[in-house]
Structure 1
């Protein structure tokens, strides 16, 4: 079975090196709090974003249709500042199939609160990798590369570096943009810090965790659940080094925003000693959810 799993990984690499575009993204643009305006523009925007994300070629690799990364984007427009200027939030989620199962694991799930943009209805969304011309296009391209970075890291160790570096290029180009979310001094939890953390050498154990957790852990669990859980626990233990060096790391919290419920499900089937170790490690590296892990995994509500 290990050989079969290894073959699967090799085939995935071949598909991506070898043609559909990379993303299969569902998009929703809503404006429940906006009154008294023509909401047709939101439908037009939604269509434009779908075409942009799913039609753009984001890598030099070739994907088969079934290999496209499943993801979703939800934009909640909260304010119309002028005819073409909007303000709101953008929620991004990406999922990864687990080998030999119908289950998809959430890789990335993040609500970005800093999303102001200009959109002229029917104006095409065009990405220029050499300059920052539109906050709407810049944010969408940034998250497309982040999704790719997370996905590739889950299939090969540090495999997503190229795409996280492209996301960082967008951050660098956006430094003179008037919109928020791109600069280090604005917040400790924004687009700047996500890629900074992810590419920082101190966070390398997090990226190694991504590979071990998914490739050696989840992909093993349908046939060898005990071995898969052991690998998942070992992967989570890598985060202790990051947490001790950088308590409250934004990138680590993003990881647990996607994984906390899944981890409870995984370790709910553990034997007592393994479950105790899981609670110990998770409570250290994800203190915000410590009580949830303890109550859920011990049954003490």
Structure 2
């Protein structure tokens, strides 16, 4: 946990009557344009119900003030309704955090889930019950809530998200032990862009250098950029070397693809004003780890 968050915990102990908040400030958007329904109010009710569970559930025992809540978004696109109350959808989950000393928000998690399958009936309440599988929708929502919290905590303290990520993994285990009641997205497949691979990457000991890189990149990198840009970039280069270790062992892993989809433009901009030596180091690392965005990184050597 960051020094800033520890300070809020201390204040919470000293002043227990202060207003405390849930962990997430989540914007939920449900796009139902592709789905036919006689009563379209169900989609607004669905959006409200999802927003309610994401924003009004206390996911952990940590103390958060309103300004400490993690900013995140869920863009849910309903693709089909095979039968009444059964939905197939895609969702993009995005979380971000501020960088100290600036007004800049950096993306921590950006993940597209194409196996978002769930049941929902009009006016159905949603409620997360720990260690219990209720519905696939609440399982998916709680899974992403804990993944968002875990990765945010990793960005503030080294391996600080372990407890939350363990909860996300526990949810996956609960779903899979329910006899397949959760639908797709929860099992190992050739396509590594699903919930199974996302959380298994994050809790796999082989990926510890990646999680350590989240701290180096955000807390020791971006958060220092306004104060000491050269040191910040050196720490960001060290983060990239950590990621390189993982990429050599597990090329194409879900978390690596997600990281560079979110960070490629940011990395290019961060090293835009670097020394020639730092630019060359960044270019060499990035083009090896993330060849998909080579054209973007080549601009570093042209400035």
Q: In the TM superposition, what are the counterparts of 1:24-173 in structure 2 within 5 Å?
A: 24-35=25-36, 37-173=38-174
Q: Give the counterpart of 1:9 among 2, 5, 13.
A: 2
Note if contact 2:88-2:116 (Cα within 8 Å) is conserved in structure 1: yes
The alpha-carbon deviation at position 140 of structure 1 amounts to 0.5
Give, in whole Å, the separation in 2 of the partners of 1:299 and 1:54.
Answer: 45
Note if contact 1:180-1:186 (Cα within 8 Å) is conserved in structure 2: no
| TM-score between both structures, scaled by the size of structure 2 | 0.92
User: What corresponds to 2:277 in structure 1?
Assistant: 273
Q: Give the counterpart of 2:226 among 205, 222, 227.
A: 222
Name the SS for the 2:158 alignment partner.
coil
The alpha-carbon deviation at position 16 of structure 1 amounts to 4.8
The alpha-carbon deviation at position 9 of structure 1 amounts to 3.3
The alpha-carbon deviation at position 291 of structure 1 amounts to 2.9
The alpha-carbon deviation at position 35 of structure 1 amounts to 3.6
Identify unmatched segments of 5+ residues in structure 1.
1-7
Q: Deviations over 1:161-189 (max 9, x none)?
A: 10111000011111133410001146322
User: What corresponds to 2:205 in structure 1?
Assistant: 201
Give, in whole Å, the separation in 2 of the partners of 1:149 and 1:257.
Answer: 19
The alpha-carbon deviation at position 40 of structure 1 amounts to 1.1
The alpha-carbon deviation at position 105 of structure 1 amounts to 0.6
User: What corresponds to 2:15 in structure 1?
Assistant: none
Give, in whole Å, the separation in 2 of the partners of 1:13 and 1:262.
Answer: 28
Give, in whole Å, the separation in 2 of the partners of 1:257 and 1:95.
Answer: 14
The alpha-carbon deviation at position 60 of structure 1 amounts to 0.4
Give, in whole Å, the separation in 1 of the partners of 2:101 and 2:70.
Answer: 17
User: What corresponds to 2:253 in structure 1?
Assistant: 249
- How many corresponding residue pairs? 292
The alpha-carbon deviation at position 194 of structure 1 amounts to 0.9
CA 1:151–1:279: 2 relative to 1, 3 Å? same
Q: Deviations over 1:185-224 (max 9, x none)?
A: 4632211111111111111110110001111111101111
| TM-score between both structures, scaled by the size of structure 1 | 0.93
Q: Give the counterpart of 1:261 among 262, 265, 268.
A: 265
